[in-house]
Structure 1
Amino acid sequence: MSAPTPIPVSSIQDGDVLNQYDAAIVISDSLTPSSLGGLSSVLTEHKAIDARVGKEPVLLAAAQVPGQRLLHVPTGPLDRYYDDVRRCFDAGREAAELAVAAGINKPLLMVSLEHNEERYQNAIEVAYLGFAQGLWQPLEAREALGEDAVETIAEVGIVGLSAAECDYIHAIELGKRLARDLCGTEPERMAPPKFADYCVAAFKDSCIDVKVIADDQQLRQDYPLLHGVARASVNVERHQPRVVRLTYEGKGLIQKSLFLAGKGITFDTGGADLKVGGHMAGMSRDKGGAAAVAGFMLSLAKLQPKNIKVVAELGVVRNSIGEEAYVPDEIITSHAGVRVRVGNTDAEGRMVLADVMSHLRELALQQPRETKPEVYSVATLTGHAAIALGPYTGYIQNGVAQQRMLANAFIKKGAMWGDCGELSSSRREDYDFIKARTKADDVLSSNNAPSVSTMRGHQFPMAFLNIASGIDQHDENSEFPIAYTHVDIAGSGVEKLDWQHGKPTAAPVAAMVATYVDKPQ
C-alpha cells in the first residue's frame, strides 16, 4: 500500500527543479501577477487564443516550468461567504485525473491564491489531499493489474511546504488510503476475516498493538449483540465475524485518552428485513466507519504524537440472511447488561457498535479521570444523515461532550482541512422514541421503518447507543463522566453519495488528525 509521496520544494524557479519534474501543476483563483508571479503573463497570453484559461483547466507549453508543461487548474471564486477550502481539494482532485490522462508522471504542485484569509491557510495541504484522492484506484484494480500500472504517479513536488509539513500530510493521506481500501473493496475480498488480515498487515512493524478476536464462543459471550447480527454468517467460514482492537500509546505522561468504535459491516443485506428495490447495491461500503477509524490509527502510527492514548475497536460483521438470521422482536442482552428488543434487523450497525462501545467504556473507566476519556462511534449509520446533512459528517454529543464542545472542535478543524461536518443535537424525543414498551426489555433498537422516512432518523440512534452501551450511566452528573460523540458518515463517506460506484472519501480521518495532532509550524 503506497500513496503519492509529497516532496518539499522551495520555489518553482529553482534550477534543479526543472530537471526533476516533468510538469508544473498550478492551482489558483485568479491570473493576477501578485498571485502567480511570472506565470501570469504566460497564462494571460494564452488566454488570447483560449478563452478557457482561468475558467477551466488547460494544459499548455511553457518553457520556464518543469517538463515545459503547465497544467493550470482554477479553483473558481473564493470570496463568497459559502466558499471554503474544498475548492482547492476539488481542484487538486481534478488535476490528478488530468495529469494521468496527459501522461504526466512526476508533477510539481503549486497553489497560489489571491484570497489567502484564514479559511484557506491549509490550501496547499488540502490540494495535495485532493490530488491523492484523484489518484487512488480500487484495491481490486491494483491487485489485478499491478499498482504501478494503475497508479502512475508515485511522487509529487510541493512548492511552499517544509519537510515536516510534507510528512504530516503524507501521514494523513496514508491513513485515508487505508480507509479507502478497507471501505471501497468488494464484499468477498474484504469479508470480515480478510478485513482483519488487511489491518494486521497495515500495522505490521508499527507502534500500534493489534489484537483480533475470532473465536466464536468468545464473541457469542462478550459481544452478544454483535454476534446476533453475525449469526447467519457463522456457518460460512469466510464470512465469520471479527473484532479488531488497535491500541496506540504515545510517549510521555498520558493527558488525553480516546476510545473509538468503528462499524464494519462488510455487507449489509438488511438481514431478515431484507433490502429490496435495488437498495442492497453498494452495501459493501457499510464498513466505512471501521475503515475510517483504522485509517486514523495508521496516521497516528506515522506521526506518533506524545501524551495521548487511543484505543480503537472495530466490529467487523456480515449481516447475512438465512435460517440462523436474527429477527425483529428478539430480545438480546448487550455486553453492558441492557436488554435490547430488535426493532428492525436492518438497523444492525448500532447493535454491533453498542457492544464494542461497552468494552471501550470499561477501558475508559480504567483510565485516570484527569485524562478526560472521550468515546466516539464512527459509522455509516443512517440514510437519514445523508438526506438531512448531504455530504457532511454529522456529530451528535452527550452532555459531557457538549460541555467540552468536542464536536465544535472537530467541525472547526475539519472545515480548515476540507473534511466538513455539521452539529446535530440529542433531544428528549430521541430517548422517548427508543424507550421500552414493556417490562420484558430495556430499550428498542429502532422502529420498523427506514431511517430516511423517520423523524430524527439520524439522531435517535445515538440515544440507543448511549443506553445499550452503558455510557448513559456516565454523563454530566456521574462520578466518572465520559464524553461520548456519535459520528455519522453516511452522507460524507463516499463521493457524491454514490455508494455503489463513488470513491470512498475516508471522512473524517483528516478532521480527526487535525483535531488531535498539531500541524508542524
Structure 2
Amino acid sequence: MSSNFLPCQIKAVDYSANISTSNVDSYVVVHDDGMPSDLLSYVSEAKKIDKGFESEVSCFKHDNKLAIYSPLDLNDYSDVREYFKAAKKGVARAIKAGSLNPMLILPSRPKYKHAELNTVLGALSALYVPIQYREDVPEKAERIKCLNISWSQKDQLKDLIEKAKSLESGLYIARDIGGGDPERMSPPNVASYVEKAFTSGIISIKVLSDQDEFVKDYPLFAAVNRAARSVPRHQGRIIWMEYKPPKPSRKTLMLVGKGVTYDTGGADIKAGGIMAGMSRDKCGAAAIAGFMKTVELKKPEDVHVIAALCMVRNSVGEECYVADEVITSRAGTRIRIGNTDAEGRMAMADSLCVMKERAVKENLPNCYLYTIATLTGHACVALGDYTAVIDNKVAENAGHGNSFCKAGDLIGDPSEISTVRKEDFEFIRSKGYGEDVLQCNNAPSSRTPRGHQIPAAFLIVASGLDKHDASSSIPLKYTHLDVAGSAGEVPDPPTGASLLSLSQLHLF
C-alpha cells in the first residue's frame, strides 16, 4: 500500500509511443471518442457483425495484446456514473483475463463534464482489496502492478491523475474503515488506523478515550457507549481532526460523522435477522476520514476543516441505556429516550454542539456544519441509493442544498434534497413536563412518515443549533446528510458517499 493509499501504481502513458514493446498487456476502452484509430477500426467492424457488441463487455486480440471494450449505456436519463461503471467492468474483465498492466484509454469528447475523472475512478474502484484480505494474505494485496492511463488531451493528463489520486486515496480510507468488520474496525482500532494514516503533520489529530470524560462532556455519546465501555477493545473513541490552511480562511467546514462500529440496536435489539450488515453503520465517519485524506493531499490554501469521528459500538447488556431514560445533552437539552436503536443521532449530537461552540467562540468565518450518517431506513425507502441532503433554514436560504446536489451530479456522487419542516420539530417535542425532546418514536423509521427528516430536527435541537437559526444574531449553516441508502451494502465495498460531493463543492 502506497503512502497515498492507492491500490496500485498509476502511470500516464502515450498510446502511440512504442506501445507494442511496453509492459502494457491489455487495453481497456469505454467509448469510441478518443479510441486510437487502429482499435477503432476493429471495433467499428465488430459492431457490424455482433449485435451484442454495444451491450456487454467484449474481449479480443489486438497488436498481440488483450483489448477490452466496455460499452457505455447512455440515454436521456443517464449521468456521468455510466463512465465509472463501464471502466469498473472493463478493468475487472482485464483482471479476470490475467492482465497485470492494463492501459485505460480515456474518452476525448465525453457527454458529461468529469467523465474522464469518473472513468479513472471507476477503474481504480475495481482494484480495491479489502483491508483484512490485504493484511491476512499480503501476497494478494494488489490485483495488478500498474494502471496505465492514456488520453488524447496529453497536456491535461497529469493534473487529471493527481486529482484522481487525491480522491481515490480518500475513498480508499473510507472503504477500509467503513468495510472493516466490527473487530478490525472497533473504535480503538479506527483511532489507531487514523493515526497511522495521517503522519504528515498537515492534519492534527486528537483522540478522546477517557470514558469518564465522555460522561461529563459528551453525555449522549456516553449513553450509547455505556454497554461497550466495560469491554476494553470495544470502548468508544471520539477522533478530532483539523486542517488549518496557510492563508486566512474564507470558509470553515465542520464535519461530524456517525461511526457506529456495530449496531445491535441495544436494548431495543434488532431481531429477525436484520442485524447482519450493521458493521456498515460507521460509513458516515469513514467518509469524513477519507475526506480529510483528500484535504491533506489537496492542501487548500484558504479552507479550514474540522472533523469529529464519533466511533462507538451500540452493544446490548446489563449496562446498556434503555428507553424512558432522561438524559441532558451537552447543550442542556433534556432528552427522553424512546428507542435505543436510534443511537446515531445520540452519538453525534454532542460533537455537533462542540462544533457550534467553536464556530461562535472563535468567530470562525463562513461556517458549514455537517453531520454525515447511515442514519435511517426511511432514507433508503424514500430515496433509494441516493444521499438525502437536509439543510437547516440558514443553509437553505444560502442555496446550499442545490449547490451540493449540483456538485454531486457533476462528479458522480448524486444526492436529493429533503426539507426539514415545522412538524418535524413538533414531532420530537416531548409532552412530559421538564423534558424538551423525545429522541425517537417506537416504530421503525421506514414506517414513520418523514422518518429521515425528523432526526435532522432532533440534531438541531439536541445540539443547540436551534439557537442559531436564520432569525438569530449568529446564524449558522447546518446540513444533515443521510447516506443510509448511498453508502453501499455488504458484501460490496463502501462507496464513500458524500466524499466526492464535498470535495467538488469545497476543494476543487
Instruction: Give 1:68's aligned residue.
Output: 65
State yes or no: 1:25 paired with 2:33: no
Q: CA offsets per residue over residues 131-181 of structure 1, 9 Å max, x none?
A: 122221211111111164552244332424421221111100000010010
Instruction: Give 1:500's aligned residue.
Output: 490
2:15 partner amino acid? I
Shift of 1:288: 0.3
Match of 1:513 among 499, 503, 508: 503
Match of 1:126 among 107, 111, 118: 118
Distance 1:511 1:147, change over 3 A: farther
Q: TM-score, normalised by structure 2?
A: 0.95
- Residues of 2 paired with 1:218 and 1:429: CA distance? 35
Q: TM-score, normalised by structure 1?
A: 0.93
Distance 1:502 1:72, change over 3 A: same
State yes or no: 1:86 paired with 2:78: no
Instruction: Give 1:484's aligned residue.
Output: 478
- Residues of 1 paired with 2:388 and 2:447: CA distance? 18
1:83 partner amino acid? S
Match of 2:460 among 463, 466, 474: 466
Task: Could you tell me which runs of 5 or more consecutive residues in structure 2 were left unpaired when the two chains were aligned.
Answer: none
RMSD between superposed Cα atoms in Å: 1.7
Shift of 1:509: 0.8
- Residues of 2 paired with 1:508 and 1:293: CA distance? 9
State yes or no: 1:157 paired with 2:149: yes
Shift of 1:113: 6.4
Shift of 1:69: 2.1
Match of 2:337 among 337, 342, 349: 342
1:364-403 equivalences in 2 (<5 Å): 364-368=359-363, 371-403=365-397
Task: Could you tell me which runs of 5 or more consecutive residues in structure 1 were left unpaired when the two chains were aligned.
Answer: none
Instruction: Give 1:43's aligned residue.
Output: 43
1:429 partner amino acid? E
State yes or no: 1:15 paired with 2:29: no
- Residues of 2 paired with 1:348 and 1:478: CA distance? 29
What secondary structure is seen at the aligned counterpart in 2 of 1:124? helix
- Residues of 2 paired with 1:473 and 1:197: CA distance? 36
Instruction: Give 2:177's aligned residue.
Output: 182
State yes or no: 1:145 paired with 2:148: no
The more displaced of 458-467 and 357-366 is 357-366
Instruction: Give 1:475's aligned residue.
Output: 469
- Residues of 1 paired with 2:199 and 2:499: CA distance? 20
- Residues of 2 paired with 1:17 and 1:208: CA distance? 44
Instruction: Give 1:443's aligned residue.
Output: 437
Instruction: Give 1:233's aligned residue.
Output: 228
Q: CA offsets per residue over residues 429-477 of structure 1, 9 Å max, x none?
A: 1111101111221111110110000000001100000000011111112
What secondary structure is seen at the aligned counterpart in 1 of 2:56? coil
1:6 partner amino acid? I
The more displaced of 254-263 and 501-510 is 501-510
What secondary structure is seen at the aligned counterpart in 2 of 1:259? strand
Q: CA offsets per residue over residues 75-126 of structure 1, 9 Å max, x none?
A: 122x41x110111111111122111101111221123266x34xx1211110
- Residues of 1 paired with 2:490 and 2:39: CA distance? 41
- Residues of 2 paired with 1:455 and 1:153: CA distance? 50
- Residues of 2 paired with 1:305 and 1:249: CA distance? 9
What secondary structure is seen at the aligned counterpart in 2 of 1:211? strand
Q: Is the contact between residue 367 and residue 373 of structure 1 (CA under 8 Å) also seen in structure 2? A: no
- Residues of 2 paired with 1:474 and 1:18: CA distance? 65
- Residues of 2 paired with 1:383 and 1:307: CA distance? 37
Q: Is the contact between residue 100 and residue 143 of structure 2 (CA under 8 Å) also seen in structure 1? A: no
